[in-house]
Structure 1
Amino acid sequence: MAAVTVLRRVGQSVLVVALTYTLVFATLFVLPGDPIANRITSPINPLPETAVQPLLEYYRFDRSPVEQYLTSIGRLLSGDLGFSLTSGRPVADLLGQAIAETAVLALTAFVLAVLLALGIALLAVFAPLRGVRNAARAVPGLFLSTPSFLVGFLLLQVFAFQLGWVSSVRDQGFASVVLPALTLAIGVSGTITQVLIQGLDKASREPFVTVLRAKGVSEPRLVVGHVVKNGSIPALTLVGLTIGELLAGAVVVETVFSRTGVGFITQQAVRDQDTPLILAVVVLVSTVFVLVNLATDLLYPLIDPRISLEPTRASRAIRRRATDAARPPKRTARTA
């Protein structure tokens, strides 16, 4: 049964990618403007007249929308991502170069976000001074309310222009990744921190904590080995959303820090109506998103044995509580 459940969820993931691709294809088709005309009249590297007809035949731009869609699906399934309408280079080559940049940035930002969230949540729940706990609980709201581009400009101003620790122009390897990754991490860690604080608060009040203290378990072992493990389950539901936020935030951050990653080429492709490149990015991002969500779903039973892959009543109740804890609190007339 577990194998059937996994296959069903894999099928759902494939369906999500297909529906996302179809929706974006339809949206691009109804948008005003002609990508071929834009390419011909481009002041930079305009498309020669002799190349127009082969391009129309290759992408079926002169055919019906249904035929264009089926052609694009057929090329995608065969591994052909096409050619960029702007540069003329294979889309696979452009994505291959950009993926490495964004992967390093997103992975570094994710690690920093988790470390920030865990450190702030531990201070908010277990710090001995009440003032420190209250200050730590106010940090997530500050992170969430600060725009990422403003954080990036502030970090550049302090660490690049004033202190001179990193260059705002030259590529210094991993040192050039730290500031953009920290910019992404600050925005993403806010939500994770809020959910972690709620989870740790609830886990620290569970009866098993009192029992373990009575048995003489040390406080660090109790916190790390038991409270954090149980209190982090709701935060695990945010992993998929976090990846989505990192990929979305990369558009702004890579533009601010002049990094040629997936976000940067996406911004250029949307500006130039480079349809093949946009569709390839959509497939890439949606595939990564559903794979991360699928992996997160399959990791639940390893973290909490009460949660099984089969949709039992108990596992559904635990998943529902975890999901409810991951949602931001609703604003009411009193709290607004």
Structure 2
Amino acid sequence: MSGYLWRRIGQALLVVALAYSAVFFILNVLPGDPIEQQIANPENPITDDEADALRAYYRLDEPAHVQFAISLTRLFSGDLGYSLNSGQPVARLLGEAIPSTLALASVAFVLAALIGFVLAVLAVFVPWGPVREAARTLPAVFLSVPAFVSGLLVLQLIAFQLGWMSAVRDQGLRSVFFAAIPLAIPVAAPIAQILTQGLANAYGRPYVEVLRAKGLPSYRIVFGHVVRNGSIPTVTIVAITVGELLAGSVITETVFNRTGIGYLTESAVRNQDTPIIQAVVISVSVTFVVVNLLVDLVYPLIDPRIRKATGAAAPKTRAVPA
């Protein structure tokens, strides 16, 4: 297991390093010097003294490899640079935006998991055919509706017609919950599809008949054994859902007027604020890689086949083999 662990950690660090290098050279070493162009932009609100300080900080007169080495050194110390439009530290702007996005993404993930689980259970275990077909069709419908469309519909219904939330003011958990709905809908679709397939396969295995022969009631067979074994493949899409949540936050936060990572990204792209764009891309890349790494490390603990392949110690208790 130790070899598997270090191999996966090494791969994760390599991915982060490559992502940072690619983002740096794409955003900072393009022809025409995009940082200098934005600093010198007449519409940029920073003063001349602040512009000179930014030029000195980013060492724009140095070769690209020197700028990269300096940027890498600053990154390890937590220095993400300064905004080209406000002159504020990027780390501070990012720190102020992360809590809002984290709350939104967390609630959306919980909602997506609940919706996906309910649809999968209905699609596999409900005895009525029309209900099963509807539960199998809904994920495709969820994927076909763009996030900005569902966001506008939720905003129109909840804020303007029912008056359950404000369209401009942050009302705490209430605002987070309703904003998370359009973000959770497309994420729930792959969860429901993968979980439906996993539960259907697990429900058709011979051990289910053995458990019935032993006299176990249906609810214990389903929720005590089938759900446990059938949900294992769903773990593999956790990292994908994290990527979708982070990507969807850009649109959702814009629609619901939330000042998180999505709003910060949209503003940075609109104003060509390269350091903020770079910091957001790197932060999202690190988050995505870390989640993938955690999933890879957790998978051997719940799947006996991977645990055997990696040489991990078997836990004292295990699920009924599928």
Matched residue SS, 1:237: helix
Residue in 1 that maps onto 2:148:
149
- Distance in 2 (CA, whole Å) between partners of 1:55 and 1:269 is 17
Q: Number of matched residues?
A: 310
Residue in 1 that maps onto 2:315:
none
Residue in 1 that maps onto 2:318:
none
- Distance in 2 (CA, whole Å) between partners of 1:284 and 1:187 is 23
- Distance in 2 (CA, whole Å) between partners of 1:294 and 1:46 is 42
- Distance in 2 (CA, whole Å) between partners of 1:290 and 1:227 is 30
Gaps of 5+ in 1: 313-336
Alignment of 1:13-52 (within 5 A): 13-28=12-27, 29-30=29-30, 34-41=34-41, 43=43, 46-52=45-51
Letter in 2 for 1:208: Y
Matched residue SS, 1:308: helix
Is the Cα contact below 8 Å between 2:45 and 2:86 reproduced in 1?
no
Q: Does 1:223 align with 2:233?
A: no
- Distance in 2 (CA, whole Å) between partners of 1:112 and 1:39 is 43
**Are the structure 2 counterparts of residues 160 and 309 from structure 1 closer, same or farther at C-alpha, using a change threshold of 3 Å?**
farther
Letter in 1 for 2:230: G
Q: Output one character per residue of 1:228-285: Cα deviation in whole Å (capped at 9) or x when no partner.
A: 1111111110001110110011111111111110111011112222222122212211
**Are the structure 2 counterparts of residues 207 and 32 from structure 1 closer, same or farther at C-alpha, using a change threshold of 3 Å?**
farther
Residue in 1 that maps onto 2:110:
111
- Distance in 2 (CA, whole Å) between partners of 1:31 and 1:107 is 40
Alignment of 1:54-65 (within 5 A): 54-65=53-64
Alignment of 1:128-167 (within 5 A): 128-167=127-166
Percent identity between the two aligned chains? 53
Q: CA deviation at 1:40?
A: 3.8
* TM-score normalized by the length of structure 1: 0.88
Matched residue SS, 2:215: coil
Matched residue SS, 1:307: helix
Tell me whether 15-24 or 141-150 shows the greater mean CA deviation. 15-24
Residue in 2 that maps onto 1:183:
182
- Distance in 2 (CA, whole Å) between partners of 1:52 and 1:178 is 41
Gaps of 5+ in 2: 312-322
- Distance in 2 (CA, whole Å) between partners of 1:232 and 1:99 is 30
Is the Cα contact below 8 Å between 1:82 and 1:276 reproduced in 2?
yes
Residue in 1 that maps onto 2:203:
204
**Are the structure 2 counterparts of residues 7 and 47 from structure 1 closer, same or farther at C-alpha, using a change threshold of 3 Å?**
same
Q: CA deviation at 1:113?
A: 0.4
Residue in 1 that maps onto 2:278:
279
Q: CA deviation at 1:189?
A: 0.7
Residue in 1 that maps onto 2:253:
254
- Distance in 1 (CA, whole Å) between partners of 2:245 and 2:8 is 24
Q: C-alpha root-mean-square deviation of aligned residues, in Å?
A: 1.6
- Distance in 2 (CA, whole Å) between partners of 1:290 and 1:235 is 18
Letter in 1 for 2:62: R
Q: CA deviation at 1:311?
A: 4.3
Is the Cα contact below 8 Å between 1:39 and 1:46 reproduced in 2?
no
- Distance in 1 (CA, whole Å) between partners of 2:83 and 2:250 is 19
Tell me whether 26-35 or 274-283 shows the greater mean CA deviation. 26-35
Q: CA deviation at 1:70?
A: 1.4
* TM-score normalized by the length of structure 2: 0.92
